[in-house]
């Protein structure tokens, strides 16, 4: 597997023409978004999750020293507790993300361009291999992270995760195939299990359906690995998860209550 990835990287370098002689871009070039930019992404993991997101940049501002850029983005998504549809939850959220050290060089293992990828934008690719795991990531000028492949084998089984930017629109420029998230059943939007606040920093409250029976809420990272479990007892109406010591990032929850599956995304800031 390792040899295969190195061959792929070498192939990209060879076919990129003069790209190998180019300088690696600055972080600010990779994360150069503008208000109105649209990105559609797809994330899945073999252990059991899939997440479809339509993202639009609605605000942009810089730190006082201009070394950090902040983006407010509107997110409409569909989440599944399987690595393929059918989708289990519709969600909408407004979140702020940021990137710092904008003048630093964004280095990687290879630098290339391909006409069929991201409208021929310059791509930085990284590859990491440690023990039984391998991870490849791509970052494109003006689009941020556009691709991720993760694979881990522990001798008993394997885990894989995949992320792709499938569509973007920047001004008049478009690339890829749009997601359409419309016409969902209203019962999906009115999930009886709700969580708040989301995004969160210190705690998250799970507001449970009425007449709850015993169950368990599972919380996993993007690779499907469990990081927390909360037992639900009969008649319980609320669970509070202290998450102040959890690393910033995206997590997922799922549970089954009275034959109904509930699942969704959690953002820890």
Cβ neighbours of residue 27 closer than 8 Å, sequence gap 6 or more: 99, 101, 102, 103, 104, 105, 106
pTM of the model: 0.65
For 173-186, what is each residue's pLDDT tens digit?
A: 999 999 877 544 44
**CA pair distance 169, 34, nearest whole angstrom:** 10
Cis peptide bond prior to 19, omega within 30° of 0: no
For 37-95, what is each residue's pLDDT tens digit?
A: 999 999 988 877 888 899 999 999 999 999 999 999 988 888 877 666 666 677 778 88
Q: In whole angstroms, how far apart are CA 61 and each of 71, 103, 197?
A: 7, 16, 24
């Amino acid at each position: 597997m390792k040899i295969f990835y190195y061959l792929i990287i070498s192939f990209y370098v060879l076919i990129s023409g003069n790209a190998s002689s180019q300088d690696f871009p600055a972080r600010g070039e990779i994360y150069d978004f503008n208000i109105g930019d649209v990105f559609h992404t797809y994330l899945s993991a073999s252990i059991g999750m899939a997440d479809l997101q339509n993202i639009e940049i609605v605000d942009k501002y810089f730190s006082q020293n201009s070394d950090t850029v902040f983006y407010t983005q509107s997110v409409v998504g569909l989440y599944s507790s399987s690595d393929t549809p059918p989708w289990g939850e519709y969600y909408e959220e407004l979140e702020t993300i940021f990137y710092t050290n904008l003048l630093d060089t964004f280095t990687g293992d290879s630098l290339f361009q391909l006409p069929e990828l991201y409208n021929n934008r310059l791509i930085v690719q990284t590859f990491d291999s440690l023990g039984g795991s391998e991870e490849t990531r791509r970052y494109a000028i003006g689009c941020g992270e556009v691709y991720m492949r993760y694979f881990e084998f522990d001798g008993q089984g394997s885990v894989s995760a995949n992320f792709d930017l499938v569509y973007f629109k920047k001004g008049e420029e478009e690339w890829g195939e749009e997601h359409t998230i419309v016409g969902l059943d209203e019962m999906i939007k009115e999930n009886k299990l709700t969580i708040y606040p989301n995004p969160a920093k210190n705690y998250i409250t799970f507001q449970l359906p009425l007449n709850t029976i015993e169950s368990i809420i599972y919380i996993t990272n993007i690779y499907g690995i469990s990081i927390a479990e909360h037992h639900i007892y009969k008649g319980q109406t609320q669970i509070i998860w202290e998450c102040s010591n959890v690393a910033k990032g995206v997590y997922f929850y799922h549970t089954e209550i009275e034959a109904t599956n509930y699942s969704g995304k959690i953002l820890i800031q």
